[in-house]
Amino acid sequence: MTMDLLWVLWSLVTASMAIHMEAGGSHSMFTCEPITLRMCHDLPYNSTFMPNLLNHYDQQTAALAMEPFHPMVNLECSPDLRTFLCALYTPVCTEYGRMTLPCRRLCQRARAECHQLMEIFGLSWPEEMECERFPECEDPYPRPADLLPSSSVTAEPPAPVQRDYGFWCPRELKVDPGLGYTFLGARDCSAPCPSMHFRRDELLFARYFVGVVSIVCLSATLFTFLTFLIDMARFRYPERPIVFYAVCYMMVALVYFLGFLLEDRVACNPASPGRFRAATVTQGSHNKACTLLFMTLYFFTMAGGAWWVVLTLTWFLAAVPKWGSEAIEKKALIFHAAAWGLPGILTVTLLALNKVEGDGLSGVCFLGMHDRPALRWFLLAPLCFDVVLGVALLLAGIAALNRVRMEIPLEKENQDKLVKFMIRIGVFSALYLVPLLTVIGCYMYEHSYRPLWETSWVQEKCRHYHIPCPYKVKQTSHPDLALFLIKYLMTLVVGIPSVFWVGSKKTCFEWASFFHGHRRKDSMVKESQQALQEPDLSQLLLREPGPPVARKSRGTSTQGTSTHASSTHLAMLDEPASASTSRAGSVRSKASSHRGSQRRSRDGRCTATSFRPTEERLPYGSLPRLIDQPRLCSTTRLDSQSRHGSTQRLDSQSRHGSTRDLCITAQAVQSTPGNGIHRVVEEDGATA
């Protein structure tokens, strides 16, 4: 008994090591069936099991594979050849789960005696029948212990056996071993390419549709990135992640555009008619072009979602704890490490797991086309996490902004800016979240229905490919092309909202100045800087609810306003009216004592010889409006008895007794973008 058990174990181990069985799991529904092959009749046994030791799923397939050996069997080149062939193609059905292999001596005798005759017929000994694959033994086949009590020959016709054989890879879809290909659970097998569900005209329409949408997205995101390059100082935190977000989807659109140009030359393996192989979907990293497209597309898709989370985080930091631009910018290294590092780790992991798949519809390489676990854990899970975290931070920031608008008494201009900023955040977030949620919904629908689509495809193509048909199929379904078109559309539309954020009159002025060759902002852009600037979130949120108090800013605003000017401005806003009046009087006295001497050049233009800037605020309504005209000289006369200071004439006591012209330059009076004096003066004058 012990020897019998050892023999069974040895047979099982040898079978698993010697003969490659692609669908070893099919034996889980192990049942015996009568032998229908005429060559294997009149043997000591009349029942066999399928799939057999050579991986034939039924006896009809085994009979086709045995046809080349019929001449040798009929000529009786060896008495052992028929027994050896039947032991492989129709093995004896033993107890549940047992497989018995023929002995190596039986194989060697059959091959040695029929070798010359096989050469005459132009046949070679098959590799899967090499004698070294079988155990060394002397027992006949079948052994007496393998015969079942009910294995006596019956005259009744064999009844067809119906069971689920699983998916058997057809010869047309076979690929070279060792590349890591899998399709529907079958190894060294790949799906047909370019698509197993759609017709050629539908594929052509989908290809052009994806190409057009990718061009639109590429243009929009490229415009956003070039606008950033023209004026990088304009896009500071918390708005700067929008630029990196646009760069990510610019690369995504570029990959889809390349897929449109390449068609199916990268996503598909070419057909090989000489080897009876059709075009199949590319898998793994052996195709360098496909791997490069996959790395770029997946990395920047995940990085785009990560930068969306960083964007909502910076808005949250500016709205709730009221961080300034400089305080947020100090964390930029952490933002970049997380937004670029995590997608890189996921990309390298997928390459190590060999999860690259070609997409015949779009012509690119991605993941999850037929691998549902990869789709679930490496695409759906990160996207859902980005959406949940980003929405939570976004709602918290909007709630804080709304509290500021309702509770903190701000000027009407700042109230309007804050409302405008909230509307922009809401519109931008909706334009991002709606397409992204649609993409996630499409992937979830595809993840749920793909097994049914694949079973329906096997049901339709099983007779064409001569493979087992599915057993007891109750429902069939086919994917709709519109689902995939919506998925590709929303994948690319996600990158377009970035252009709505930078779209403003200021952007038009910058591009007009750029195309006219003026790299500096001209006077028109300078004058419109205050009126056309984006809402300064850092300055609007510096005051807490409650009694007005003077406090310092935690950082500069997104437009470059200095911390000193911001804190001074807030101190003036919080001072009582009497204090402001007294300060205005002192400043007025200092301003009236200011003198500047200028001289006229030979060509008649005025140049300043001396200028002493002052940082004190001027009294309410005492500063005249100055227009930036560098080459115009306003000849004014300082009247020592004038109170308004609008038109003054300077009486000099020179030897000629002539009246000198006073030339006021805009560069000496108008403040720089990093100074808050100009804004304070305008607001103080309006208050007065």
**Cα 226 from chain centroid (whole Å):** 22
Mean pLDDT lowest among 12-26, 357-371, 376-390: 12-26
Q: Name every residue whose Cβ is closer than 8 Å to that of residue 83 and which is 6 or more positions away in sequence.
A: 43, 102, 106, 141
What is the per-residue pLDDT for 163?
63
529-550 core/surface letters (b: 16 or more CB in 10 A; e: else): beeebbbbbbbbbbbeeeeeee
Residue 648 has pLDDT above 80, yes or no: no
pLDDT at 43: 86
**Over the stretch 601-637, which tens digit does the pLDDT of each residue have?**
334 444 434 334 433 443 333 333 333 333 333 333 3
pLDDT at res. 549:
39
- Residue with the bigger pLDDT between 507 and 374: it is 374
Rounded Cα–Cα distance for residues 634 and 664 (Å) = 7
> Which range, 40-49, 282-291, 512-521, has the best average confidence (pLDDT)?
282-291
In this prediction, residue 380 has a pLDDT band, given cuts at 50, 70 and 90, of very high
Residue 375 has pLDDT above 70, yes or no: yes
Say yes or no to pLDDT of 377 above 60. Answer: yes
User: What pLDDT is stored for residue 597 in this prediction?
Assistant: 38
- From the list 328, 313, 541, 531, the residue with the least C-alpha distance to 418 is 541
- Report yes or no on whether pTM surpasses 0.95: no
Beta bridge partners of 189: 174
How many other CB atoms sit within 10 Å of the CB of residue 251?
19
Q: Is the pLDDT of residue 591 over 50?
A: no
- Read out DSSP for 472-490? S--------HHHHHHHHHH
| Tokens found for residue 8 | 């069974």
Residues 6 or more apart whose CB falls under 8 angstroms from that of 612 comprise 594, 596
In percent, the amount of the chain with pLDDT more than 70 equals: 66
Phi, psi for residue 451 in degrees, rounded to 5: -60, -40
**Token pair in block for residue 625:** 């409006």
Q: What is the pLDDT of residues 240-252, one digit of tens each?
A: 999 999 999 999 9
pLDDT digits (tens, 9 = 90+) for 555-577: 333 333 333 333 333 333 334 33
Q: What is the mean pLDDT of the chain?
A: 74
pLDDT one-digit tens code per residue, 123-165? 888 888 889 989 998 888 888 777 755 444 444 444 444 567 7
What pLDDT, in 10s, does the model give residues 81-128?
999 999 999 998 876 556 788 999 999 999 999 988 888 888 888 888
Residue 337 has pLDDT above 70, yes or no: yes
Q: Is residue 442's pLDDT more than 60?
A: yes
